[in-house]
């Protein structure tokens, strides 16, 4: 496994791509209101990204047809935007990628539409809080498996379960690079595998299920749900390890 160590100038290029992601996600958050269609939101994000001089990197990636992954209620990741209009009480996840001058950005949020239940508030909070807890825990010398265990422990302590078989990842000149970073410990020993170092850039993205973490892919070949069929949530940031701590690149 070759995990790239980025120069400060390269990290700044990644920061620029990720700032556009952050702007597009903020646009999605502001416009995820009752009556908004997913296809219109997707078009709005694409227009914004292109206006910033970047490309929507998900469009065409592995054959994905749209610019934004719009994952509604039971769909946890990779949701294809449709003409569905958001309704009061929906939970919608937006996952956005950009490419700017050959460098990639990637982040995601989950948003409640109108008035949502306390249970859905807790679901969204688990994804967001576990992400920020993990980011604050990062330091050079710790192993990626330790980071996975930190994520898993936080999620399960909140009473939820991480999605299996999907993970965070490195990012740089490609949208997905080494290492793979599951949201759970995938081996008996966290004290093995590659270590985190200054200059590494990667995406953490907790994907939260309620009772069953096994994934099921729907007929369109993209939408991923939990086998329990219950609502889910997802948050993601791109981070760079700089001077001994993780810095979020995907913020405005």
Contacts of 110 (CB under 8 A, 6+ apart): 91, 92, 93, 94, 123, 124, 127, 128, 233, 234, 235
Q: What is the pLDDT along the chain (252 residues), one digit of tens a residue?
A: 689 999 999 999 999 999 999 999 999 999 999 999 999 999 999 999 999 999 999 999 999 999 999 999 999 999 999 999 999 999 999 999 999 999 999 999 999 999 999 999 999 999 999 999 999 999 999 999 999 999 999 999 999 999 999 999 999 999 999 999 999 999 889 999 999 999 999 999 999 999 999 999 999 999 999 999 999 999 999 999 999 999 999 998
Specify the pLDDT at position 251. Answer: 95
Specify the pLDDT at position 1. Answer: 66
Distance, in Å, from the CA atom of 199 to the CA atom of 55, rounded to the nearest integer, reads 25
Domains along the sequence of the chain with CATH = 8-248 (3.90.230.10)
Specify the pLDDT at position 247. Answer: 98
What's the pTM?
0.97
Q: What is the pLDDT of residues 164-208, one digit of tens each?
A: 999 999 999 999 999 999 999 998 899 999 999 999 999 999 999
CA angle 7, 10, 12 (to 5 degrees): 115
Specify the pLDDT at position 2. Answer: 87
Q: Are 110 and 124 in contact (CB under 8 A)?
A: yes
C-alpha 169: how far from its chain's center? 10
Distance, in Å, from the CA atom of 189 to the CA atom of 1, rounded to the nearest integer, reads 18
């Amino acid at each position: 496994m070759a995990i790239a160590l980025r120069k400060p100038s390269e990290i700044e290029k990644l920061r620029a791509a990720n700032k556009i992601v952050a702007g597009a996600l903020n646009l999605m958050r502001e416009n995820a209101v009752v009556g908004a269609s997913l296809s219109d939101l997707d078009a709005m994000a694409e227009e914004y990204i292109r206006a910033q001089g970047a490309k929507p990197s998900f469009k065409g990636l592995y054959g994905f047809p749209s610019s934004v992954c719009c994952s509604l209620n039971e769909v946890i990741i990779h949701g294809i935007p449709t003409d569905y209009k958001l309704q009061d009480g929906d939970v919608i996840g937006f996952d956005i990628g950009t490419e700017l001058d050959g460098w990639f950005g990637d982040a995601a949020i989950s948003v409640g539409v109108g008035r949502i239940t306390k249970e859905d508030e807790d679901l969204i909070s688990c994804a967001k809080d576990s992400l920020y807890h993990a980011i604050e825990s990062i330091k050079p010398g710790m192993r990626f498996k330790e980071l996975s265990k930190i994520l898993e422990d936080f999620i399960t302590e909140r009473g939820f379960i991480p999605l299996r078989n999907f993970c965070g990842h490195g990012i740089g000149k490609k949208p997905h690079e080494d290492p793979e970073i599951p949201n759970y410990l995938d081996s008996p020993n966290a004290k093995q595998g590659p270590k985190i170092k200054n200059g590494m850039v990667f995406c953490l993205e907790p994907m939260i299920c309620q009772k069953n973490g096994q994934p099921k892919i729907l007929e369109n070949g993209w939408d991923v749900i939990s086998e329990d069929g219950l609502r889910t949530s997802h948050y993601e940031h791109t981070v760079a390890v700089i001077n001994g701590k993780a810095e979020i690149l995907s913020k405005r």
